[in-house]
Chains A and B, each alone.
Chain A
């Protein structure tokens, strides 16, 4: 389980306009590139200083590669990060105000309390 790394993916993509578009157009390719190049980057350090041990679990990688946000919820990804990024990805495809947000709630409607743990 690498909940922290899933969050790191959502966080670093969400804050970068080009990556948001890249992830929308090519989720599987973006996740593969990100895991190879970015997953072990220390965010507040020069590029020569890297971690060596961070990798997705298979189900995490697959959920990210398929834009499967209900599965990310189930895996304990931080719901604020997932929501914010997925609004950026897909709100534009809905004509009604809050159309995507309401569809998102509907797709999660099978979950009840307690929700999956999000502690990292």
Chain B
């Protein structure tokens, strides 16, 4: 059965890429950091209102890294791990849309711009967080069982 998962060996590189993307993203969004060498000379192109690609690189690094962390196979990938993945995906999507609905009601103007930025990443963050918390809880129970 096709499971659309990456090899287990890509999980650690994924974590490193995520951390790099996160640091670069926070620096870009909150401190206006930019790499000069990622500036565009042809800034009048109708498709690029932004003159520097640092934030795009940060977002891509974070998304690619989180996908590698969250969607890499376990050493033993079986039906139980698949069920945790499915439950985590459901949790992530429902929570994301609940949070987004509340933000639509209560956040306006510039604040909503930040909501839109973070809501791009929230489903991935929630999925990865819940998946690894459930796994960690199971590991704890198993260590008590021994």
Are A and B physically bound partners? no
